[in-house]
Amino acid sequence: MNPASVIEPIRHGGILELRLARPPVNALDPLLVRSLREAIEAAPAHGAQALLLSGRQGMFSAGLDVPALIALDRDAMSEFWGGFFDLCAAIARAPIPVAAAVTGHAPAGGAVLAMLCDYRVMARGAYRIGLNEVQVGLTVPECLQAALRRLVGTYRAERLLVSGTMLEPDAALAVGLVDELAEPDAVVSAALAWLDGLLALPHGAMQSTRALARADLAAIFADPASLPIADFLDGWFCAETQATLHALVARLKGRDRA
Amino acid sequence: MNPASVIEPIRHGGILELRLARPPVNALDPLLVRSLREAIEAAPAHGAQALLLSGRQGMFSAGLDVPALIALDRDAMSEFWGGFFDLCAAIARAPIPVAAAVTGHAPAGGAVLAMLCDYRVMARGAYRIGLNEVQVGLTVPECLQAALRRLVGTYRAERLLVSGTMLEPDAALAVGLVDELAEPDAVVSAALAWLDGLLALPHGAMQSTRALARADLAAIFADPASLPIADFLDGWFCAETQATLHALVARLKGRDRA
Amino acid sequence: MNPASVIEPIRHGGILELRLARPPVNALDPLLVRSLREAIEAAPAHGAQALLLSGRQGMFSAGLDVPALIALDRDAMSEFWGGFFDLCAAIARAPIPVAAAVTGHAPAGGAVLAMLCDYRVMARGAYRIGLNEVQVGLTVPECLQAALRRLVGTYRAERLLVSGTMLEPDAALAVGLVDELAEPDAVVSAALAWLDGLLALPHGAMQSTRALARADLAAIFADPASLPIADFLDGWFCAETQATLHALVARLKGRDRA
């Protein structure tokens, strides 16, 4: 399968939009994770001055593709999770600004991708965003907790993470999980406008001030090999989590049949 | 005196409520401090999955029992203050979630107990909460300042602490010193409902995510023996503080006679 | 020139007001920077229990005196910038409380002076405050970014700094960049009232609690010699920044002629 087929690149002047395009819900499987990371890493060399991550209207990304991943053995899951951390590192450490057009739902891994960007515009409507890992039996690793803390504060992050809270757009804005709301058909243009504003600034001063301002986030992901892959795998393959994930897959299949 | 007599344990399924019951104002003396710490530490082994600290309606805890403590010499006061830090550590490092039902006033030490819990529900009404130590001549030690910072942010903590500000329920909610308000007779049930929500989550994922989210707080109290007891004693026995505390005791006695 | 001539000292009981008095806009040149630092450092020995920094009505300080500084060579600019960091250190590490009466505009260096104080009262009206360094081609160094983070949070600081955002009084209050608003002719009296409140507290407890609460800020400026002067100079003398600064100076001269 052609990697490009799950990422639709759209050029807007100096800004490269990377639209997640893996039907039906932009679930994160090994191919999408690798393709997105490669597209982000390649962008500056191809002349992009800024990046925009977007999804389809109504669904930014449903997070991990649990039905696909649950079939993987420990080695394959280890490779996937290492690749997911590599993708997180690529966003968190991007040398150019990255905005997220949260075009719809963004649970778990979808929220993670958005949270690591410089800025988030979310669609108004019956959509939700949040790190609901605990709800499906997964532990949120420290590196992702730290990334959320810098957005919303230490205690607010604790509350959101421990309960696996999903927030509607107004609540996400109030708590600082997103930065701006827009009508669903205006999310991409609002995020582009924000990036245009950054690119109109004196370039060197903006870039060096940005590098200092995000140095704490970059440091979290400085050494992807040191990130807690084994802990995640222990959690993924423990009985409680497997039971919760299998029940989730059964619900998803039931919904597909309905 | 039977330790149990100043702590009233009430079982609600998997949740153990520990109601402070030392008339008239749940002031923290050596017995109450030790009894509460022992009850918290013993709870998991007795099957409690979560804890709820509560007081009487109108008064959560008035903080340190200054009239009783002012009679202690340096050795006795050192033992008390070490015991108070041990109690702080027991809450901050509790292996199970702890909520506070702030059933009324919670100045100084009362606010400290609440602040170290996972979650705080406060009674609506003419009650106040805050770390007003400076108002009575006491320095707030770094470990408690750090615990407040993670709730309300570094600068907000500075302002509240330096002025010894007491807040009414709406203001405490706005600043993040408490998480939820309820009518006085519904504070306990609201806190129980919040704990029930946590206990309904996949257990292992909730517990391990919680442990990571609170690791910074746990670290502050990891070694109670290293906490600044001597600094506190120097402050307690200095002339300015003794004068302020004796004036406070004289006011309290005047109020009792009136 | 007499240093005292650019700083007008006004005594209010135990509070010493230092009013910036360098027409027309209190721009920070070597003399004003040195005079303000010397006045701050000398105040405690002259009996001041608290300090108040103020400007003229409508203009707190326009920040760096770019038209004057752009004529300096690298050595002279290095001396100026080292002196500016010394001034920052004097405010951040002041042994007595310092309030800012932000009597009007406070861009860039003006905002920096205010931000390092204990408390900020800003004039209501068409005035703006913010660290807009990026807008004029300058990088905000890490020590100043860290000082802003402790006021408004890590992510909010990132957004304000990278865009060089200027805020009107209501927005500055909402985000925590200032603490209180007052009518232009009441800004000084409101800041004095706030300082009076601190001075009415038990002195030792207030001072020691304040020292702990501001220890993180003091640590940032503990060794001014270690602050990034060379980085600033590299930025100042690079082509992009020089072009932006010369364009700024041309605009200022055009405005003077108009």
Give residue B216's pLDDT.
98
Rounded to an integer, what distance in angstroms lies between the CA atom of residue B55 and that of residue B192? 14
Give residue C187's pLDDT.
98
Does the structure show a pLDDT above 60 at B162? yes
Rounded to an integer, what distance in angstroms lies between the CA atom of residue A16 and that of residue C43? 56
Residues in A closer than 8 angstroms to B157, CB to CB, are none
Assign B248 to helix, strand or coil: helix
Cβ-defined contact of C140 to A209 (cutoff 8 Å): yes
Give residue C62's pLDDT.
97
Residues 43-72 of A with CB under 8 A from C: none
Give residue B225's pLDDT.
79
Task: Over range C94-111, report the average pLDDT.
Answer: 98
Give residue A1's pLDDT.
44
pLDDT, tens digit, for every residue of B23-82? 999 999 999 999 999 999 999 999 999 999 999 999 999 999 999 999 999 999 999 999
Does the structure show a pLDDT above 70 at C101? yes
Using a CB–CB cutoff of 8 Å, tell me whether B204 touches chain A: yes
Give residue C258's pLDDT.
57
Task: List, in sequence order, every residue forming a beta bridge with C51; answer none if it has no partner.
Answer: C16, C98
Rounded to an integer, what distance in angstroms lies between the CA atom of residue B174 and that of residue C47? 38
Cβ-defined contact of A209 to C161 (cutoff 8 Å): yes
Of A160-174, A218-232, C91-105, C189-203, which gets the smallest average pLDDT?
A218-232
Under the banding of pLDDT at 50, 70 and 90, the label for residue A33 is very high
**Contact between residue C136 and residue C248 where contact means Cβ atoms under 8 Å apart:** yes
pLDDT, tens digit, for every residue of A182-195? 999 999 999 999 99
Rounded to an integer, what distance in angstroms lies between the CA atom of residue B160 and that of residue C213? 10
Q: How far is B114 from chain A (nearest CA, A)?
A: 14
Rounded to an integer, what distance in angstroms lies between the CA atom of residue B139 and that of residue B132? 10
Give residue B253's pLDDT.
86
Give residue A253's pLDDT.
86
* Axis crossing angle, helix B30-42 with helix B74-92, rounded to the nearest 10: 30
CA distances from B106 to B27, B59, B115, B168 (A): 10, 7, 10, 10
Where helices occur in chain A by DSSP H, the ranges are 30-42, 66-69, 74-92, 109-115, 142-152, 154-163, 169-175, 187-199, 203-213, 215-220, 229-236, 239-257
Under the banding of pLDDT at 50, 70 and 90, the label for residue A73 is very high
Of C19-28, C192-201, C232-241, which gets the smallest average pLDDT?
C232-241
Query: Which residue bears the tokens 């060794």?
Result: C223
| DSSP-assigned letter for residue A141 | P
Using a CB–CB cutoff of 8 Å, tell me whether A154 touches chain C: no
Q: Which helix (H) or strand (E) holds C87?
A: helix C74-92
Rounded to an integer, what distance in angstroms lies between the CA atom of residue B42 and that of residue B51? 11
Q: Which CATH architecture has domain B3-257?
A: Alpha-Beta Complex (3.90)
pLDDT, tens digit, for every residue of B218-236? 999 998 778 989 989 999 9
Cβ-defined contact of A240 to B203 (cutoff 8 Å): yes
Query: Which residue bears the tokens 């615990």?
Result: B147
Rounded to an integer, what distance in angstroms lies between the CA atom of residue C102 and that of residue C188? 8
**CA terminus-to-terminus distance, chain A:** 29
Using a CB–CB cutoff of 8 Å, tell me whether C220 touches chain A: no
Picking from B209, B217, B220 by the largest number of A CB atoms within 10 A of its own CB, the best residue to mutate is: B209
Query: Of all residues in chain C, what percent carry a pLDDT higher than 70?
Result: 97
* Burial class for A129, CB neighbours closer than 10 Å (0-12, 13-18, 19+): buried
Nearest residue in chain A measured CA to CA from B97: A162
Task: Over range A219-239, report the average pLDDT.
Answer: 91
| Strand C58-59, strand A58-59: pairing | unpaired
Instruction: Return mean pLDDT, chain A.
Output: 95
Give residue C2's pLDDT.
52
B126 — phi, psi (to 5°)? -85, 55
Query: Which residue bears the tokens 């006491």?
Result: B138
Residues in C closer than 8 angstroms to B240, CB to CB, are 202-205
Using a CB–CB cutoff of 8 Å, tell me whether B198 touches chain A: yes
Task: Over range B240-245, report the average pLDDT.
Answer: 91
**Closest to C134 (Cβ–Cβ): which among A149, A150, A209?**
A209
Give residue A42's pLDDT.
97
**Closest to A213 (Cβ–Cβ): which among C135, C162, C238?**
C162
Domain extent listing, chain C:
3-257
Task: List, in sequence order, every residue forming a beta bridge with B130; answer none if it has no partner.
Answer: B107
Does the structure show a pLDDT above 60 at B2? no
Nearest residue in chain C measured CA to CA from A196: C163
Picking from A98, A120, A209 by the largest number of C CB atoms within 10 A of its own CB, the best residue to mutate is: A209
Using a CB–CB cutoff of 8 Å, tell me whether A154 touches chain B: yes
Query: Which residue bears the tokens 């005292």?
Result: C4
Give residue B46's pLDDT.
94
Residues in B closer than 8 angstroms to A244, CB to CB, are 202, 205
| Strand C180-182, strand B98-102: pairing | unpaired
Structure tokens at C132: 């807009």
Give residue B258's pLDDT.
58
Using a CB–CB cutoff of 8 Å, tell me whether C138 touches chain A: yes
Under the banding of pLDDT at 50, 70 and 90, the label for residue C1 is very low
**Closest to B138 (Cβ–Cβ): which among C197, C205, C214?**
C205
Assign A210 to helix, strand or coil: helix
Does the structure show a pLDDT above 90 at C112? yes
Structure tokens at A213: 């301002």
Strand order of the β-sheet with B129-130 is B58-59, B104-107, B129-130
Give residue A225's pLDDT.
80
Assign A123 to helix, strand or coil: strand
Cβ-defined contact of A204 to C163 (cutoff 8 Å): no
Amino acid at B73: D
Cβ-defined contact of B197 to A163 (cutoff 8 Å): yes
pLDDT, tens digit, for every residue of B91-140? 999 999 999 999 999 999 999 999 999 999 999 999 999 999 999 999 99
The region that residue A137 occupies, defined by phi over 0 for left and psi between -120 and 50 for alpha, beta otherwise, is: left
* Burial class for B182, CB neighbours closer than 10 Å (0-12, 13-18, 19+): buried
Assign B212 to helix, strand or coil: helix
* Burial class for A250, CB neighbours closer than 10 Å (0-12, 13-18, 19+): exposed
Does the structure show a pLDDT above 80 at B143? yes
The region that residue B228 occupies, defined by phi over 0 for left and psi between -120 and 50 for alpha, beta otherwise, is: beta
Rounded to an integer, what distance in angstroms lies between the CA atom of residue B161 and that of residue B155? 10
**CA terminus-to-terminus distance, chain B:** 29
Give residue C224's pLDDT.
76
Query: Of all residues in chain B, what percent carry a pLDDT higher than 90?
Result: 91
CA distances from B18 to B50, B59, B188, C65 (A): 11, 14, 11, 62
Rounded to an integer, what distance in angstroms lies between the CA atom of residue A35 and that of residue A26? 12
Assign A14 to helix, strand or coil: coil
Using a CB–CB cutoff of 8 Å, tell me whether B185 touches chain C: no
**Contact between residue A229 and residue A52 where contact means Cβ atoms under 8 Å apart:** no
> What is the predicted ipTM?
0.95
Picking from B156, B212, B214 by the largest number of A CB atoms within 10 A of its own CB, the best residue to mutate is: B212
